[in-house]
A and B are shown apart, each in its own frame.
Chain A
């Protein structure tokens, strides 16, 4: 979907590969300056706080959740949330159509979103970074081949391919993670490639070469730490992307399967009630939005810290 490019700095994937401006030079900030900057950067601060809250909620879901999110009780169905005149403290956000506690499902849903976002981003990070670093470091024919792979990957409609594959192998949590991990590595590759290109001829690499370090040592111990800060920005963006895609797949019924409380699935299940009990889709939808927003704010903030000259 359009998110793939929305955040990237350059306008077309092909020119992104060739453009010299793809990512700012990584700065290695000393931690104090970083902290000051962090506190001074409102977006990053707000984003981190929200994200922190959601992560804590996800980790402590079993203790925080007032009910078992999977236990249905048909006689207690469709209770409205507390702010509604018919709401009860027993079910603060009400219950769904099978009488399951909505707040508990929401809390457990955070686990699903974060798990998928993080693991999918890590899988794609490994794939993309490997490809990008190899392309950037060796250049020449290696670069040409890998650039070609990246271009091909970008030409595939992610959502459509993900749906078709999900339908073939059947939707499940693991499947969604693997699928997204295998599909979302393009931006890692693009960024890793261009940052590596910039560092390839740097002095510390050259001196490592002179000292007789092996190529793998140079790549992993010398180069990687220096492009990491740029990659962390990409990780946040791809996490957000993966979370949205998972929600979309689940919404279309081919992602995480019930009774797992994925937020996308909750919106899909609540859809029937949207005209008369709009909170059923509003609650998971807004939560999802806040999570992605927080991750994006953190990502944008990190990018600004790396490249303070411009917001874009």
Chain B
């Protein structure tokens, strides 16, 4: 098991380094950095001065390593647009995106697991079909459109919840629903399959034959086993949500990481863009690693491979 974890960890670190190369390239594809830093009104001499001062005249490999060393220390340089360092901007925004992600995941879990369990218990009834339909529709609805619909209905027409901003916890509800909705179908399906599998297993049959009540069988024995892979999936989904929150944040004008990235993209502020890409990717890699470990603990077959 330890060997497995160690190997997975190595892979994760390797992937993180590869991703860092990609996001480094992203910055360099965006044009001449010295010109960008110097600003539009600078002379050619000033540009050259900056090129030397920022080490941009060095070979690209050397630049990458000095960038990586700073990046590991969470120093991503300075925004082209604002007077702030990239890290200042990110540390202001990250909590908002994390709150949104956590809340969205919470909502998705609290809907998906009961629905999945219900669908499994009542297999092939209308409840099962309804659950499946919700899942299928959920996968088909464009997230930005769903978010807009939520605003029109619950904020503007019913006045139940605020339409945007992030000053109170109420402001997070609609965005979290919009974001969580997309993680829900996969989690529900997995709960359902897991439950069906477990409910048909020998050991549940034994439990039933012992005369345990159906509630006890379902909740105490079956659910506990069926839910662990869902937890692993939830970790992965959280990673996706951090990447996908850009749309939701823009629609709800939540000042999170996604909005920061989007604003930065439209202002050609590439130091910010690359930092956000890297941070989200690293989060994702870490969450995936967690998911892998959970899955491996469950399924010893995986460890051999």
Q: Give the contacting residue for B243; candidates A18, A158, A297; CB below 8 A.
A: A158
Interface size, B (range): 35 or more
Stretch at the interface among B64-72, B86-94, B184-192: B184-192
Task: For chain A, residues 114 to 155, give those with C-beta under 8 angstroms from any C-beta of chain B.
Answer: 148, 151-152, 154-155
Q: Report which of B140, B144, B236, B268 forms a contact with A267, defined as CB distance below 8 A.
A: B144
Q: Report the stretch among B22-30, B39-47, B73-81, B207-215 that lies at the interface.
A: B22-30
Give residues of chain A (1-29) contacting chain B, Cβ–Cβ below 8 Å. 1-7, 11-15, 18-20
Q: Which of B223-239 contact A (CB under 8 A)?
A: 229, 232-233, 236-237
Q: Which residues of B contact A3 (CB under 8 A)?
A: 139, 182
Contact A164/B266 with A2-B237, A12-B288, A155-B281 known, Cβ cut-off 8 Å:
no
Q: Of the 9-residue stretches A81-89, A91-99, A216-224, A243-251, which lies at the interface with chain B?
A: A243-251
Minimal beta-carbon separation of B33 from chain A (angstroms): 14
- Verify if B156 is at the interface (C-beta below 8 Å from A): yes
B142 touching A152, Cβ below 8 Å: no
Name the B residues within 8 Å of A35 (CB-CB): none
A contact residues, total (Cβ < 8 Å) = 59
Do most interface residues of chain B lie in helix, strand or loop, or is the interface mixed? helix
A290 to B30, CA, bound (A): 38
Q: Is the CB of A312 within 8 A of B148?
A: no
Q: Are A300 and B136 interface neighbours, CB within 8 A?
A: yes
Measured between beta carbons, the chain B residues less than 8 angstroms from A248 are: 142-144, 247
Among A12, A157, A164, the one with the most B-chain Cβ atoms within 10 Å of its Cβ is: A157
Closest to A254 in B: B265
Minimum CB distance partner of B233 in chain A: A11
Partner of A1, one of B143, B270, B295: B143
Chain A's nearest CB lies how many Å from the CB of B254?
Answer: 15
Residue from B142, B189, B242, B305 whose CB has the most chain A CB atoms within 10 Å: B142
Contact between B250 and A15, CB atoms less than 8 A apart: no
Tell me whether A289 and B141 are in contact in the complex, defined as CB-CB below 8 angstroms, given that A1-B243, A148-B11 are known contacts.
Answer: yes
Complexed CA–CA distance, A254 and B241 (Å):
20
Report yes or no: B144 in contact with A156, Cβ–Cβ below 8 A.
no
Select from chain A the residue with minimum beta-carbon distance to B243: A157
Interface status of A292 (Cβ within 8 A of chain B): yes
Query: Given A148-B15, A157-B280, A251 and B288 touching (CB < 8 A)?
Result: no
Set of chain A residues within 8 Å of B34, measured between Cβ atoms: none
Which among B137, B143, B237, B301 has the highest number of chain A CB atoms within 10 Å?
B143
A251 to B248: give the CA distance in the assembly, Å.
12
A278 to B152 Cα, complex, angstroms? 8
> Judging by beta carbons under 8 Å apart, are B277 and A267 in contact?
no
- Is the Cβ of B19 less than 8 Å from the Cβ of A156? yes
Indicate if the CB atoms of A155 and B244 lie closer than 8 Å: no
Bitwise, B263-281 to A at CB < 8 A (1) or not (0) is: 0011010100100110011
For the complex, what is the distance from the CA of A311 to the CA of B190, rounded to whole Å? Answer: 11
A167 to B266 CA separation, bound complex (whole angstroms)? 7
Complex CA distance for A14 and B239, rounded to whole angstroms: 14
Q: Which of A14, A252, A290 contacts B250 (CB 8 A)?
A: A252
Q: Is B113 an interface residue (CB 8 A)?
A: no
Asked if B172 is at the interface of the complex by the 8 Å CB criterion, the answer is no
The distance in angstroms between the C-alpha atoms of A33 and B298, with both chains bound, is 38
Interface centre among A2, A158, A292, by most chain B C-beta atoms within 10 angstroms, is A2
B145 pairs with A281, CB closer than 8 A: yes
Q: Which residues of A contact B252 (CB under 8 A)?
A: none
A155 in contact with B247 (CB, 8 Å): no
Residues of B with C-beta under 8 A to A154: 284, 288
Contact, CB under 8 Å: B139 / A292: yes
Taking CB atoms, residues of chain B closer than 8 Å to A312 are: 189-190, 192-193
- B273 CB contacts on chain A under 8 angstroms: 160, 164
* Docked CA distance A161–B140 (Å): 22
Contact call A148/B145, Cβ cutoff below 8 A = no
Answer whether A271 and B148 are a contact pair too, CB < 8 Å, given A1-B182, A152-B19.
Answer: yes
Known: A2-B240, A278-B152, A300-B136. A11 touches B229 (CB 8 A): yes
Chain A residues closer than 8 Å to B281, beta-carbon distance: 155-157
Q: Would you call B237 and A160 a contact (CB within 8 A)?
A: no
Report which of A152, A240, A264 forms a contact with B15, defined as CB distance below 8 A: A152
Q: List 15 A-B contacts (CB under 8 A).
A: A3-B182, A6-B139, A7-B186, A12-B232, A12-B292, A43-B136, A151-B11, A151-B15, A152-B15, A155-B284, A156-B22, A163-B265, A164-B273, A167-B268, A297-B136
Top-6 shortest CB links A-B: A157-B243, A6-B186, A293-B140, A285-B145, A292-B140, A1-B244
